[in-house]
Structure formats: C-alpha cells, structure tokens
Structure 1
Amino acid sequence: MGTIDSDLYRGITDFAHDTPSWFQHLMEVWTELGLLLFAVLFVVAWWRARGNDPRAFAVAVLAPLATAVAYVISEVVKSGIDEERPCRAVSGALPSLIDCPVYGDWSFPSNHATIAAAAAVGLALAWPKVGWFTVPMAILMAFSRVFVGVHYPHDVAVGLLLGTLVAFLVVRLLTRPGARVTEAMRGSGNGLVRWFAGPGPAGAGDGSTPGARSRRGSHRR
C-alpha cells in the first residue's frame, strides 16, 4: 500500500487513540447504528411517498434497491481485489479500536461506505429535504471505518464514490418504469398491493390511472 495512504491511516488512528473513551465508543457504535438509521429513513420515505405521484413513489422505493445493488457490486469488487486490512498490514500503527476482520475479509472497497453513500444519495433524491442530514451521515460513517482502524482512507473514498454513482444510475434508469409499475399497483385488485403503493396524491379518486378514469367516463357518455 502507498506510503501516503498508510501515513494518513496512522495519523487518523493515532488521533482516534487520543480521543476520550466515550467518543471512541460512539464512533464504534456509529459504524453500525448509521445503517439502522438509514433503514428507518427508508421506511419513512416510503410512507411519505405513498401520498405522492407515481414517479416520487418509484424513487422512494428505488432508494433501498439502489443501496442493495451498490452493496452487491462492492462485494464483487472486494472479492476480486485481495487487499489486506490495514489493522494487519500497516507497520507501526496502533491497534484498531475494534477487532480486525478475519483474514479473507478484504479491505477494498469499504462496504459500509458504499452502502452509506448509496443510501444517503437515494434518500436525498426521494426526499430532498433530508439530504443535508443523510450526506454528512454517510461521510461520518465512512470516516468512522478508518477511525476504528479497519479501513484505509482510499477504501472509504472509493466506497463513497461507488455508492453515489450506483444510486444515481439506478434511480435515473428505473424511475420511469417504476412509475408505470406504481400506477399498475395502485389500480390492482389486490388490497395489500394497493396499500403498499398508497392512494397517490389527494384528489386521485379511487387510485386508478387517469387513462382508466377517462375510459370509464367515455362509457358513461
């Protein structure tokens, strides 16, 4: 691994060991707690979108899907690049604050950073007002992986870029077909499917598509 990256890793882990124990524990917990918080926000975003137009609902549902896709891609890349964890590979570094992952659980890229970035961007696209919160969340989660000593800085930087790119691509490519699926779900005869997709915006009547309502109107005439 490059000297600059290893030096930066040692600098961050040295700083981590100089922080108060309560802050160290907070950063240790944050690496996992952040994922739980993103999951909660996914549910809230979906619930809000049930009363919105089909495209908005599609984006809300695509946000967690994009996160899952980003995770899978990250795992595929990780399995092909056998980069040892810095907590074993960097000489002269202080011990990691959490247990160093087992040999074979490679370091590049950071799954946590990838998931965090994809979730943050997906949520910001579905619910723009939370972007000011989710994006710093993702960056802090990525930093925490270096802070606790289990990733190099470049691992989390690439993870953030990968998650961001995948989220944008998934939402951009699938929003239109997702909106069509949403319209079909809102007009479905299955009550559970209609409940999941929601009633749509106020004034949408019985939730059927505009085309269906127009056809019913023509039959009455």
Structure 2
Amino acid sequence: MVDPHLGLFLFVVGVATDSPPFVRTFGVIATDAVLGVFAVLFLVSWWRARTAGAERMAKALLAPAATVVAGLVGEVIKLLFREERPCHTTAGIAPCPAPDDWSFPSSHSVIAGSAAVALALVAGRVLRRIALACAVFTAASRVFVGVHYPHDVAAGLLLGALVVTFLPMAARRAAPVVARLRSGTPGRTLLGAGPR
C-alpha cells in the first residue's frame, strides 16, 4: 500500500512535471519570492501602525522578530527528526537542497505560517487575506517543486502559527516602551505619533 503522503506528493509533482515550462519556472521562482511579499507586508503593517496605539505598533515591530523565532524553532525540530527530502529519491522541478538540509518541517512553511498569523494579529482585513493566501501558496509551492512532502508543509504552517501566539502578550509588555519612545522626536519619526 502506498503511503497517502507519498501518493499525494507524487501526484502533485507529476502535475508539476507535466505543466508547461513557464508554470514550472514560475513555481520555482515564486516558492522563494513569496517570502519577500511577507517582508513588504510587515513594512506596510508598521507604516499603518504609526497612527495606531502603542500596543498595535509593538505588535507590528515584534511580528518579524516572532517570525524569526519561529524559523529558528523549526530548524531545531529539523535536527531532531532528520527526515530526508523527497527530492533525494524522486525528481522534482527545482534543485534539491543538500542531503543534510532536512525536510520536516518545511522552513518556508514555518516562516509563512508564523508571518501570516503575526500579520493577522496586527494588520487590517486586506493584509490578513493577502498574508493567508501567501502562506497557503508558499506551503503548496514547496510540494509542487518537489522539495517537501505534504505533511512537512502542514506541520510547518501549524508550528509557525503556534510559535507566534506569544505575540499579543509580548506586545502588551512592550507597549509602554513604544509609548515612551514616541514622546521623543527620533522615536516619533520612526514609530509615528500614534492616534490623534
């Protein structure tokens, strides 16, 4: 009996392999480029928080840091599981990472899941939807290009989402610091004046 995760992986990679060349090229480029979209969304959320309260600004400032923490946690878990990537035994459409770059959980998916949840906690409805769509796309693209199993990306999204749940509590603690920084000219320039 075929492992359902392997069966789904083989089906998705088969679709990728049979896709037109421009679709394959887009899949390979987009799987990394979408992480840049999260960076832009973080900048937009920071800019919008300049006219918001200190706690929201603290969330906007801590959201990228929370994403980095989630990424580090994911790397530690990879070292514990040491799952071989599927592209070492089955061809994908993207170059396969080195043999010691483990598969579980997907680092891209951890970052995407944490960034999406962090942005959901600080951003408006439109940015939330964009972030969620980018997270799902990132996870799916890692299977599409053949470098992760479906369970790698599902676990990555979940792990990333769980790690950033500390963000609201951290933002509440950091809010007084943001308020103090806003009282001076340099801080007000960077963090905005807050609500009028």
- Shorter-chain TM-score: what band? over 0.9
Residue 128 (structure 1) aligns with: 124
Q: Is the 8 A contact 1:59 1:126 kept in 2?
A: yes
Residue 8 (structure 2) aligns with: 8
Larger RCO (CA within 8 A; separation ≥ 6) = 2
CA distance in 1, matches of 2:136, 2:6: 20
Residue 73 (structure 1) aligns with: 73
- Tell me, yes or no, if structure 1 residue 179 matches structure 2 residue 147: no
Matches within 5 A, 1:91-102: 93=90, 95-102=91-98
TM-score, normalised by the number of residues in structure 1: 0.84
Q: Please give the secondary structure, in 2, of the residue aligned with 1:26.
A: helix
Structure 2 gap ranges (5+):
none
TM-score, normalised by the number of residues in structure 2: 0.94
Percent sequence identity is 42
Alignment match of 2:192 (pick from 190, 194, 198): 198
CA distance in 2, matches of 1:81, 1:195: 46
Structure 1 gap ranges (5+):
203-221
Q: How far is 1:7 from its partner?
A: 1.3
Larger Rg: 1
Q: Please give the secondary structure, in 1, of the residue aligned with 2:96.
A: coil
- Tell me, yes or no, if structure 1 residue 141 matches structure 2 residue 128: no
Q: Is the 8 A contact 2:75 2:107 kept in 1?
A: yes
The count of residues paired between Structure 1 and Structure 2 equals: 194
Letter in 1 for 2:56: A
Runs of 4 or more above 3 Å deviation: none
- Tell me, yes or no, if structure 1 residue 115 matches structure 2 residue 111: yes
Q: Please give the secondary structure, in 1, of the residue aligned with 2:146.
A: coil
Q: Please give the secondary structure, in 2, of the residue aligned with 1:79.
A: helix
Q: How far is 1:42 from its partner?
A: 0.7
